[in-house]
Amino acid sequence: MTDTMPASPGLLDRARIIAQPGFNRWLVPPAALAIHLCIGMAYGFSVFWLPLSQAIGITKPLACPADAGIWNALFTTACDWKVAELGWMYTLFFVLLGSSAAIWGGWLEREGPRKAGVVSALCWCGGLVISAIGVFTHQLWLMWLGSGVIGGIGLGLGYISPVSTLVKWFPDRRGMATGMAIMGFGGGAMIGSPLANLLMNGGNLFEWKGAFAYFHVAGFKTETSVGVWETFIVMAAIYVAFMLAGAFGYRIPPTGWKPDGWTPPQAADNAMITTGHVHLKDAHKTPQFWMIWAVLCLNVSAGIGVLGMASPMLQEIFGGALIGKPEIGFAALDADQKKAIAAIAAGFAGLLSLFNIGGRFFWASLSDKIGRKMTYYAFFVIGIALYASAPSFAHMGSKPLFVGAFCIILSMYGGGFATVPAYLADMFGTQFVGAIHGRLLTAWSTAGIIGPVVVNYIREFNKAAGVPADKLYDFTMYILAALLIGGLVANMLIGPVAKKWFMSEADVRALQAKTATAGQSSGSFGIGKGGLDGRAALAWLAVGIPILWGVWITLQSAIKIFG
């Protein structure tokens, strides 16, 4: 008898997470947010660069010999690292994110989001622990390996883990669903950066202009430590708890499930939304895949370069105007004045991050109403106009127009990330959308090189040529507008996928049967209903409180811009 009994599915198996009657689909987005808010700290790692650059000197960097190369930096325990050497971790994050998502996207579709989420948590948080050991022993190669490589793999798996699941749970609101989750990646730094600063340097968890304060944190910084390795350990512990809770909160709908009362759109109603499915092995053979790849790459290239240079850009363009002294240019400011405007510029970076987050939800939700192609048209047309106008806003000395333009630009940068999974689902179907999205993220890796190179190198060229600080970025803005023109053309060329690329209905049924469990329902039977019931409210509260705290901290900093 026992030889014929089916084996019970393991805790992480896909079969274990098929939703049962009574499950509320609104529990899935906060599970995805729990993971994305943690891995999104990759955007905020720059908060560690300056402390790490004086990990030995403590109060100031202990410089290495002038002729010391990168090999020395990887293994030395006698002198401090340079910020540029530490910054390679940031590059590794996004190269590994795109690569791992492309390589293991198919595995994720087979094994399910819970297993991928657990592996992501172990990689990302384990990478932080390895980095902590690297800081403690002063071994840069351990930091590159820990957070950069192993953590980068965790980023890729964590980033794409909810995409296919959310698209299948919300076929009626694909854009909104992916926007809710992916906004978490943009919000990770908004929460993680001030948390890391608090853990390193101490302070109050919550305060307002000294009127009230709660939960004082002593901070790990001492006379013998800058507090980074201790912060890595604490954040790893917090993140692994949140990420595992998110991973175990994932459920997938039964085969054939759809929301009550929802009728899938027919091809005749909207040719840009397919009812079929393209196999993972064929998606990259279609021109539509590469046009969407170009659309994402060019939209991200334009935004990511600005995001990385937001603080110095605002300081150099407006100079003394940021502290009420418009007659003083950036070069003429003294040390105290530069320190003051640096604090204000940090608020600008925080404000851009806030719009990056909000744009992910707003634009992705709007795409459900106006369509993905029209949404990207809006990104490119509005973006071109704003980039082309930015130099004029700067020369007018108008902080509201300049800051407002870049807030809108960054909202569309985030919106591009959040809308593209729904665009892929519309074009290629939902069966392999997570894996296809994983491969598409190589566009992000490419943009992570193009955007910073365009902004940074043109700035350096102009600076060497003697261009005034307030005009350093004029030509850059026109180049970024040109990138968006290329994206506009690519979006225009996207049409419905040819029928020859779609799987037959028999092949789809056979594929779905492999991942179905015996006796599972293909109907609704109360699955997906519930709205914001008690369990869903608690789940949203668990992720909502950290988000609100991050927004509060960001707004306090950003308000200084208009002083």
Range 192-205 average pLDDT: 86
pLDDT(84) > 50: yes
pLDDT for the residue numbered 65: 86
Structure tokens belonging to residue 478: 């026109």
For residue 67, give the 3-state DSSP assignment: coil
CA–CA gap between residue 381 and residue 103 (Å, rounded): 34
Please, how many CA atoms are within 13 Å of residue 430, restricted to the half-sphere of its CB?
A: 24
Q: Are 393 and 402 in contact (CB under 8 A)?
A: yes
pLDDT for the residue numbered 157: 95
pLDDT in tens, 313-330: 888 888 888 888 888 888
Range 138-165 average pLDDT: 94
Phi first, then psi: what are they for 278, rounded to 5°? Answer: -100, 135
pLDDT for the residue numbered 91: 81
Question: In the predicted model, what is the mean pLDDT of the chain?
Answer: 87
* Percent of residues, the chain, with pLDDT higher than 70: 93
Q: Are 114 and 17 in contact (CB under 8 A)?
A: yes
pLDDT(518) > 50: no
pLDDT in tens, 421-445: 999 999 999 889 999 999 999 998 8
For residue 103, give the 3-state DSSP assignment: helix
CA–CA gap between residue 126 and residue 145 (Å, rounded): 11
Between CA 511 and CA 520, with CA 514 as vertex, the angle to 5 degrees is 110
Termini Cα distance of the chain: 77
pLDDT in tens, 243-274: 999 999 999 998 888 888 888 776 555 667 88
Continuous H helices in 40-87: 49-52, 70-75, 83-86
**Greatest CA separation found in the chain?**
89
- Sorted by where each starts, the structural domains of the chain and their CATH numbers stand as 12-258+528-556 (1.20.1250.20), 295-495 (1.20.1250.20)
CA–CA gap between residue 206 and residue 492 (Å, rounded): 48
Phi first, then psi: what are they for 265, rounded to 5°? Answer: -65, 140
CA–CA gap between residue 560 and residue 344 (Å, rounded): 6
pLDDT for the residue numbered 255: 83
CA–CA gap between residue 517 and residue 472 (Å, rounded): 61
Bridge partners (DSSP) listed for residue 216: 204
Burial class of 356 by CB neighbour count within 10 A (0 to 12, 13 to 18, 19+): buried
pLDDT for the residue numbered 459: 80
Residues contacting residue 307 through CB under 8 Å, at least 6 positions apart: 349, 352, 356, 410, 413
pLDDT in tens, 318-372: 888 888 888 888 878 887 887 778 777 777 877 888 898 899 999 999 999 999 9
The secondary structure of 392-455 as a DSSP string is HHHHHT-HHHHHHHHHHHHHHHHHHHHHHHHHHHHHH-STTHHHHHHHHTHHHHHHHHHHHHHH
For residue 219, give the 3-state DSSP assignment: coil
For residue 528, give the 3-state DSSP assignment: strand
CA–CA gap between residue 218 and residue 240 (Å, rounded): 23
pLDDT in tens, 472-516: 888 889 999 999 999 999 999 999 999 999 999 888 888 877 665
pLDDT for the residue numbered 270: 61
- pTM score, two decimals? 0.86
pLDDT for the residue numbered 512: 75
Range 14-39 average pLDDT: 93
H or E stretch including 205? strand 203-207
